[in-house]
Structure 1
Amino acid sequence: MSNGHIVIGEIFGTAVLILLGGGVVAAVTLKRSKAIGAGWVAISFGWGFAVLAGAYIANGYSGGQLNPAVTLGVAIKTGQWSTVPYYLIGQIVGAMIGALLVWAAYLGQFQAHLTDPEVLASVAAPEPAPASAAASAPHADPAGPATGNTAQPGGPVLGVFSTGPEIRNPVQNLVTEAIGTFVLVLFILTEGMTKGLALNGLGILLTALVVVGIGLSLGGPTGYAINPARDLGPRIVHALLPLPNKGGSDWGYAWIPVVGPLVGAAIAGGLYRLAFT
């Protein structure tokens, strides 16, 4: 495959990944959505289907890696580093395009949520927190978790674009992201992604199911980015979009869903070389 094919494949595949993945979060969390309140299981399966669709679309062009952490793990396994920049370019650009498409698809819901009088009133006059909650306040996430936050109207909106921890503890958050990505990348490497070749159809399906499993089992603490492009690209878009009352983009946390997955991928790639080759 040519470098141009890699960039094009990763752009299209990652854009669809983010469109469907961010879309399910928007559907579950934003006001005036028919799926509001569908819950974490819906989000986990939605992201799994997003991986399935994006990887199938990109498979014939780039192998459908769609994730800098996967790209890193494959490069460590195969020793082929020359194509890594092309994968990264396609993934970041695709993630930003996908985030813009989510915004376009849910524009009315974003506006309805961010201008809803009930939401704005809850921010202006929040209910007093119990003593037990006050004790844990220093660790609270000001940007809100991936599925919403009543502390500010923009919390659920940021959650559509990027992840955030339920308990803000950088070490724990970093470890959680590394563990989840380790599972994903080790599975992909042992499934047969060698020498830059694409997974077969069954491999893509199984990978999507593993993503569902990671979401259900390990997604609770941080919202399981397990993909630096998935978090960074849409976070940039969130920062640029002209949405009222959207709040900040939580750049203080943004390094964790980038570094954590890369650490987990590097460990998976190194372990694969030690144990499986």
Structure 2
Amino acid sequence: MTYSLMTRLAAEFIGTAIMVILGNGAVANVDLAGTKGEHGGWILISLGYGAGVMIPALIFGGISGNHINPAFTLGLATSGLFPWAEVLPYLGAQMLGAFCGQAVVVLIYKPHYDMTTNPEHILGTFSTIDATSSRLNGFFNEFVGTFILIFSALGITKAPFFKNDLGTAHLALGFLVMTLVASLGGPTGPALNPARDLSPRILHALLPLKNKGKSDWRYAWIPVLAPILAGVCAVFTYKHLFM
């Protein structure tokens, strides 16, 4: 079945919003003061982000392709697997979806944002932070993680093994993201997705939250540029090796 561009953009918007609500919602549950899940640990965050990608994939994989990630959209377009004419609309839907999804997280957790005095914990529920304040380390972490994410996502959805069972393939994407967050999440978060980091960071800069601190714009280009470069490299590599 073929869907109109507007329908696919709606899917991208809603899918990205769901990803941010479930993913950053898990971070907020663990890091903000006074929540039921406070100090719940990294596994809780990994589960939140795994489900945050898996659920939109199951809903929208057959509609928009469930990109929900500018790095994936740009990587596909660069290798001729997605029309350039639709790139900007897709990116706009993803960025707006991430922004609105983060606004929902703030709405739900507002009392706990007010109770939290650690600015880094507040920023961490919006965007990524390199644990060692190293932009070089952050770049490597985001590049490698995103490369594995997009290369594996293509492999899962294009592999002959899942040819007649794309539903299971999209289910597997959730386990892929959960594992990436659990395995490579220590240094930066990670973002693995420019929309997931940049849009919430913009909202962080705009909102008058108590004790929020700075939005760390010196680091903000890392989780944008590194995933985009990784996405281009990952799609190019998979296409020329296996398609």
Normalising by structure 2, we get a TM-score of: 0.92
| C-alpha distance in structure 1 between counterparts of 2:10 and 2:69, whole Å | 14
- Find the counterpart in structure 1 of residue 233 from structure 2: 267
User: RMSD of aligned C-alpha atoms?
Assistant: 1.6
Are the equivalent residues in 2 in contact too, given 1:174–1:256 (CA < 8 A)? yes
Alignment of 1:78 with 2:70, yes or no, is no
- Find the counterpart in structure 1 of residue 150 from structure 2: 185
Alignment of 1:98 with 2:101, yes or no, is yes
Residue 107 of structure 2 aligns to a residue whose secondary structure is: helix
Give the superposition deviation at 1:154: 1.4
Q: Residues 252 and 227 (structure 1 numbering): CA distance in 2 closer, same or farther, change over 3 Å?
A: same
- Find the counterpart in structure 2 of residue 205 from structure 1: 171
- 229, 232, 243: which one aligns with 2:198: 232
Give the superposition deviation at 1:6: 2.1
Give the superposition deviation at 1:2: 2.0
| C-alpha distance in structure 1 between counterparts of 2:239 and 2:59, whole Å | 29
Give the superposition deviation at 1:274: 2.1
Q: Which moved more, 1:93-102 or 1:7-16?
A: 7-16
Residue 69 of structure 2 aligns with an amino acid whose one-letter code is N
Greater relative contact order (Cα 8 A, min sep 6): structure 1 or 2? 2
Are the equivalent residues in 1 in contact too, given 2:71–2:194 (CA < 8 A)? yes
| C-alpha distance in structure 1 between counterparts of 2:55 and 2:113, whole Å | 25
- Find the counterpart in structure 2 of residue 216 from structure 1: 182
Give the superposition deviation at 1:244: 1.5
Q: Which runs of 5+ in 2 are unaligned?
A: 160-164
**Structure 1 residue ranges (4+ consecutive) displaced by more than 3 angstroms after TM superposition:** none
Give the superposition deviation at 1:21: 0.6
- Find the counterpart in structure 1 of residue 29 from structure 2: 27
Alignment identity in percent? 40
Are the equivalent residues in 2 in contact too, given 1:22–1:160 (CA < 8 A)? yes
| C-alpha distance in structure 1 between counterparts of 2:126 and 2:80, whole Å | 31
Give the superposition deviation at 1:276: 1.4
| C-alpha distance in structure 2 between counterparts of 1:34 and 1:159, whole Å | 18
Normalising by structure 1, we get a TM-score of: 0.81
| C-alpha distance in structure 2 between counterparts of 1:79 and 1:110, whole Å | 40
| C-alpha distance in structure 2 between counterparts of 1:38 and 1:10, whole Å | 30
Residue 123 of structure 2 aligns to a residue whose secondary structure is: helix
Are the equivalent residues in 1 in contact too, given 2:73–2:82 (CA < 8 A)? no
Deviations 1:47-106 (A, max 9, x none): 101111222333343121111111123222515322211210110000000000000110
Deviations 1:209-260 (A, max 9, x none): 0101111111111111000000001111111112122101101100000011
Aligned length: 235
Residue 221 of structure 1 aligns to a residue whose secondary structure is: coil
| C-alpha distance in structure 1 between counterparts of 2:130 and 2:11, whole Å | 31
- Find the counterpart in structure 1 of residue 162 from structure 2: none
- Find the counterpart in structure 1 of residue 130 from structure 2: 165
Are the equivalent residues in 2 in contact too, given 1:69–1:227 (CA < 8 A)? yes
Residue 242 of structure 2 aligns with an amino acid whose one-letter code is F
